Amino acid sequence: MDCKTALALLEPYLDNELDRADARELEAHVDTCADCAAALTRLGDLRQSLRDQTLRHTAPPELRKRIRAAATGELPSGAALSPRSASRWTMPPWSRLAAACVLAFGAGGVSVHLWNSGQSPAAVQTQVARDLFASHWRALAAATPVDVVSSDRHTVKPWFAGKVAESPLVRDFAEQGFALVGGRLDYVGDERLAVLVYRHGQHVIDVFVAPGAGSALMVEVAEQHGYSLTPVRLGDQPAVIVSDMDREERSRFAQIVRSAQ
Ligand SMILES: [Zn+2]
């Protein structure tokens, strides 16, 4: 991919509008191209500042009037505001994500390749971690981070049936301060995983659950820019917690997940 193509794809990438192949190609380019990495960072920062409440100003009445007029087609189209410019944005720029992954992983991950190719274990770990972070951030940037919204485990568990090889253990930990919000499906490598979504105060927590007891998520503890990956077991399935909780909250939640029955 050349820089011209990459730059044209940054916006749709951030809007999660690229198919997986294009997204991968763009990520590969951004990993090796400082210019495009910088452009992605700028774009990410710009979007973040757009949704930062503290930077918002109350529109003067005259502007409101003009916007309303534009919306109803009474002004030339060039005067209309793009709704995209105000879209939600919480995903840190790719360049930081890439740095996080490269820094965080050494050797020593476990078995089954969710990422099937001839890559080295370290490369697989990097890619798995990247997928986990990217999935978490994309979910945060979406209107809602869940596909099935429910605090009732009896709703969430059956929802996964037939969608993943093995439905995960679903528990609500609201009493311990971690409320079940719902679930969604996401991809790590070519594997579709169940994701359980919890909320703790302002934190949205994803628990990615490997497809079966015999499978593994090749990933180690990682922490970068306030986000972290914590491998755990949920019931008899390997899982990874992704969140921006601090170390103490994180280990408390990991403990709760591990002891769930
Ligand atoms: Zn480039």
Residues with Cβ within 5 Å of ion ligand 1?
A: 3, 6, 33, 35-36
Please give the distance, rounded to the nearest whole angstrom, from the Cα atom of residue 2 to the centre of ligand 1: 6
C-beta atoms surrounding 89 within 10 Å? 21
Residue 13 Cα to ligand 1 middle (Å):
14
Task: Quote the ligand 1 centre to 9 CA distance (angstroms).
Answer: 11
The tokens describing 146, both together, are: 């869940």
Q: CA 133, 134, 136, 137: dihedral to nearest 10 degrees?
A: 110
- Say how many Å lie between the CA of residue 97 and the centre of ligand 1: 17
> Model's pTM, two decimal places?
0.58
pLDDT in tens, the chain (261 residues): 999 999 988 888 877 778 888 888 888 888 888 888 888 877 877 766 665 545 445 566 666 676 666 665 554 444 333 333 333 333 444 544 444 443 333 222 333 344 445 677 777 788 888 889 888 888 887 767 788 888 788 888 888 888 888 889 999 999 999 999 999 998 887 788 999 999 999 899 999 998 877 777 778 888 766 789 999 999 989 999 999 999 999 999 999 999 998
pLDDT at 205: 95
C-alpha of residue 5 to centroid of ligand 1, in Å: 8
Amino acid 37: pLDDT: 85
The CA distance from 163 to 171, in Å, is 19
What pLDDT is recorded for position 220?
81
C-alpha of residue 39 to centroid of ligand 1, in Å:
9
